[in-house]
Amino acid sequence: MSPHEPEEPTARSESSPAASSTSVAKTAGPRLPATPGMPEGAQVPRILLVAILVVMAVLAWWEMPQQWALDFLDATLGQAFSAFAIAKGLNATISVLQSSTIDLQVFQVSPGEALDPANDMIERFSWVMFAATGSLALQKLLLGISGSLIIKAFASGACLLAALGLLTGSRQSIAHSRQRWWQVAILRVALWGIALRFAVLSVALASGAAGQAFLDDSRDTQMAQLSVTQQQLAEVADKQVGGAHEERSWWQQFKGSMEGWVGGPITSVTQGFDAMADKVIDLTMLFITQTVLFPLGFLWVVLRLLRGLARLK
């Protein structure tokens, strides 16, 4: 017996773990690439993915969420129009008060010029309301496009085709794993269909729900107070500009006009300019949040979710 013969079992035993690991690696199936936020090799169960696709295909034709989103947008659009009308009314009334003068023959006095800062702020507030109205109108247009028959049929058909592809495509061996590229392509198309059908709808529903929960009460209160200020200014403008002046001496005109200005509501409005400015600023931020920040924020969340779904294997 050769002296090297006893070492053969040891060599075989040492090489057996490597051989076994190699065989396990060959039979374990393909390893999926690592995905951020998911453990390496994670997979979505086939039956779960098929169920999600079928549900999305059915929801694409459900009209109730579309109507809810339209109601939210119509209500917010009506409030934006009301705020825009209040702003333009304030702007016109203050402009009338600014243009009124007290003619004293020797010189003229324009008490309404004290409202010039308020007029500038109201004018800029009307610009914000116009932009908010445009944003809501754009969201309503995109919502109508996403709920059109073409988008519904595309999203539903793509989801059903992807589900059918997953059901008919059996598990393949490593040698045929590259033949599943068509399943990935169909899933990508289905994901695009889901985005086109549900992205704008989800953003509109989420923005409307958040606005009702956090913004509506404060906005209604501020608009009511600003409307009262507009009515006060309109009454002052009617008294100061609407009536004809009797022919009196310059001192009588000066005395009577100043009594009308100083003793009227315009004084309280001028003194309460800070309160009116607070209302305008609050309404500006509320409408910017409702019509710009909420939609952009929820759109970012929806796109992140769709991106995460696209990375699933």
In tens, the pLDDT along 158-197 reads 999 999 988 886 555 444 555 477 778 888 999 999 999 9
Contacts 24+ apart (CB under 8 A), 283-288: 283/83, 283/125, 283/219, 283/222, 283/223, 283/226, 284/125, 284/128, 286/215, 286/218, 286/219, 286/222, 287/80, 287/83, 287/128, 287/129, 287/132, 287/219, 288/128, 288/132
pLDDT at 17: 44
pLDDT-derived band of residue 56, with 50, 70 and 90 as boundaries? Answer: very high
Segment among 67-76, 88-97, 278-287, 288-297 with least mean pLDDT: 88-97
88, 67 Cβ separation under 8 angstroms: no
pLDDT-derived band of residue 6, with 50, 70 and 90 as boundaries? Answer: very low
Residue 71 one-letter amino acid: D
pLDDT at 10: 45
- Mean pLDDT across the stretch 104-127? 69
pLDDT at 234: 76
pLDDT at 80: 92
Predicted TM-score (pTM) of the model is 0.72
Per-residue pLDDT of 266-311, as tens digits, reads 555 565 566 678 888 999 999 999 999 999 999 999 999 988 877 7
Buried b (16+ CB within 10 A) or exposed e, 258-297: eebbeeeebeebeeeeeebeebbebbbebbebbbeebbee
Cβ neighbours of 144 (radius 10 Å): 13
Inform me whether the pLDDT recorded for 61 exceeds 50.
yes
- Closest-CA residue to 86 (of 280, 236, 291): 280
Using a pLDDT cut of 70, give the percent of the chain over it: 64
**Backbone phi, then psi, for 14, in 5-degree steps?**
-70, -35
pLDDT at 175: 42
State the helix-helix crossing angle for 273-288 and 116-146, rounded to 10 degrees.
Answer: 20
- Tokens 């507030």, residue? 125
User: Between these two residues, 117 and 162, which has the higher pLDDT value?
Assistant: 162
Segment among 26-40, 96-110, 280-294 with least mean pLDDT: 26-40
Cα(298)–Cα(245) distance, rounded to whole angstroms?
59
- Mean pLDDT across the stretch 199-218? 94
Mean pLDDT of the chain: 75
- Closest-CA residue to 279 (of 240, 227, 236): 227
pLDDT at 77: 93
pLDDT at 274: 65
Inform me whether the pLDDT recorded for 13 exceeds 70.
no
- Closest-CA residue to 128 (of 83, 89, 90): 83
Terminal CA-to-CA distance of the chain, rounded, Å? Answer: 58
- CA distances (Å), 159 to each of 155, 190, 312, in order? 6, 5, 16
User: Between these two residues, 99 and 264, which has the higher pLDDT value?
Assistant: 99
pLDDT at 209: 94
pLDDT at 262: 47
Cα(167)–Cα(291) distance, rounded to whole angstroms?
43
- Mean pLDDT across the stretch 56-79? 94
Per-residue pLDDT of 129-148, as tens digits, reads 999 999 999 999 999 999 99
- Mean pLDDT across the stretch 55-75? 94
pLDDT-derived band of residue 313, with 50, 70 and 90 as boundaries? Answer: low
